[in-house]
Structure formats: C-alpha cells, structure tokens
Structure 1
Amino acid sequence: MEIKVAKIEDLGQILDLQKACYLEEAELYDDFEIPPLTQTLHSIKTDFEKEKFLKIESDGKIIGSVRGFLEKETCKIGRLIVDENFRNKGLGRLLMKEIESKFDSAERFELFTGHKSGRNLSLYNKLGYSEFQKKRINEKLELIFLEKRNYKTANNNV
C-alpha cells in the first residue's frame, strides 16, 4: 500500500468512504446533517479544484484519504478517513505525515475535530498537534482546533 495523490475519478470512492467513516461521528454527536455526510459529488469536485487529496488503496479500492490546502502560511488539513477494516494499522498517521510533507513550506498545520472524538484527538496529539481554540457549534458539538508548527520552516527562518 502506498499513498498517492488522488485523481478526479477517485472522488466518488473517496466520497463513499467519507460518508461511511463520518457516520460514526454523526452517531457520536447524534447529528446526521454534518457536512462530511451531506457533501455531494459536485461539492467534493469543487473542493478538489483547490485542495490536494491523497489516497491509500488496497487491491484497487481506496481505504484511506486526507486533504489539505495552503491558506497564507497555514496548511489546513481535513477529512482524514480510514476504512474501518484497516484501522489501528498506522494508516491515519501515514496519511497525516504525507499531507504535511506535501505542504512542507507551510509555517504551521491546522485541523479540527469534535470534542467527543477521542480517537482523533489522541492521534493528533501523538503527531504533535495541540489545541489552540474551541468553538461551540450547537448544544451537541464543540469543535477543537489543533495546530502544529512546521519545524522545517521554523529552522529556515532563524
């Protein structure tokens, strides 16, 4: 299994996997109208025009994905997903490391997850991310924003 840059023809599979993965999040928050579940193929194609999508395949099937884009000096990372049958094998960590490497000129990396998403928070903390902001969305959901400095660029600026 190797991580590759996704192509536009991969978006249908990525969207299907995204919806399967985020169903767990929806159940956790009792909210089935979250954007990853309601996203359309048209919408993900629009995202694809401005974001870099990565994928991992096994036997020709996409089993993981993440995306990111650069906004000023910050790489915004989103929608890290891994097929439930391939979890706890380090694929999420590999996808995160690879998306960070694709934006190695960024000064920092930023992402968010829900406050009840313990597995996500644990992974991001292990990868060096730390909380910098909380944002209450509704009575069920508070988003936790996390960041990590890119020490490659920090050393270049010294």
Structure 2
Amino acid sequence: MIQIVKAQVEDLQDVLTLQKLAYQSEAMLNNDFTIPPLTETLEQLSETFKSVTILKAIEDSTNEIVGAVRGQAKDHNLLIGRLIVHPRMQNRGIGKQLLRQIEAYFPGYRYELFTSEKSLKNLSLYQKEGYRPYRKEQLSERVTIIYLEK
C-alpha cells in the first residue's frame, strides 16, 4: 500500500536522494547529467522547501519514501515539478497518484508542469491526465522542455 502525505523538513535528505536516483533515466535520455534535479543540493532544497508544498509517497510495509512531487502556488497557478518515483516502483500508478494528490491539494488552480521532449513516458502520463502542451523552451543544446497545462 502507498500512502501520500505532506513531506516534512526531516524528509528532505531522503527526497533529494530519491530525486537524484529517479532523474538518472532523464539524464541518460538527454545525455546531460547537469540537469537541475541532479545538481540540486540539500541547502537549495531546504530553501525551496520554504515556498513549495512537497508530497511524498510512502510504502507502508517499509515506511520508505518511494515518490514525491512539488507544487508551487502563485496567483491561482500551480507549478508542479520534480514528480519522481523510485525506479523499482515505477509503472504501478504512483506517479499518477502523486499528480492527482498535488492537484487535489490545490483545487481550482491552473496546473502547469514541464518535461523533456524526449520523455515520451512522462508526456503520455501527463496527456492522459488532461494536460496539453502549450510551449517549448530550449534548456540547453541537448535538452528541449515542453510545458503542459491543465
């Protein structure tokens, strides 16, 4: 069983460790290991934590954090970011649960997120959940980001 609850400051190191593990596949897809999720420090995450809501997915049997998502609200817009699931726990609906829970935490907002144009699995999930692409941005010579909204 997976339980999704709000993360606390004492969870940040575990969230960051999971983030660096989960984003390895994204880095490989884009052949770029300098993407922000891989270079973020605990100090940076601790500062970010002051202005975002982080939900964590916990596996009941082990009490391990196996997923997380961030939401940053501003003017009735919610920027959703760093949706992560432990590689061994992927394809079990945890990402979808996290996405739906962060939306439910901020009902009635306009939701926005982004992913690499090479992340076909992510794009598929987001589009199945009602997100639609609205712009592209070149992050680096290797990485193009697609922004989606709902």
Same fold (TM over 0.5): yes
**Match of 1:34?**
35
Larger radius of gyration: 1
Q: Which runs of 5+ in 2 are unaligned?
A: none
Structure 1 position 23, deviation (Å): 1.0
Which of 102, 105, 113 in structure 2 is aligned with 1:102?
105
Give the AA of the match of 2:89. F
Q: Which runs of 5+ in 1 are unaligned?
A: 149-158
Deviations 1:48-70 (A, max 9, x none): 10000000111111000001011
- 1: CA distance between counterparts of 2:92 and 2:81? 20
**Match of 1:84?**
87
Q: TM-score, structure 1 length as denominator?
A: 0.91
Deviations 1:67-113 (A, max 9, x none): 1011112100000000011111111000000000111142x100000
Aligned residue pair count: 147
RMSD between superposed Cα atoms in Å: 0.8
Deviations 1:88-141 (A, max 9, x none): 1111000000000111142x1000000100010000000000000001122211
**Match of 2:126?**
124
Identity %: 44
SS in 2 for 1:100: helix
Give the AA of the match of 2:119. S
Ranges of 4+ aligned residues in structure 1 off by more than 6 Å = none
- 2: CA distance between counterparts of 1:2 and 1:82? 13
Which of 57, 60, 64 in structure 1 is aligned with 2:63?
60
**Match of 1:136?**
138
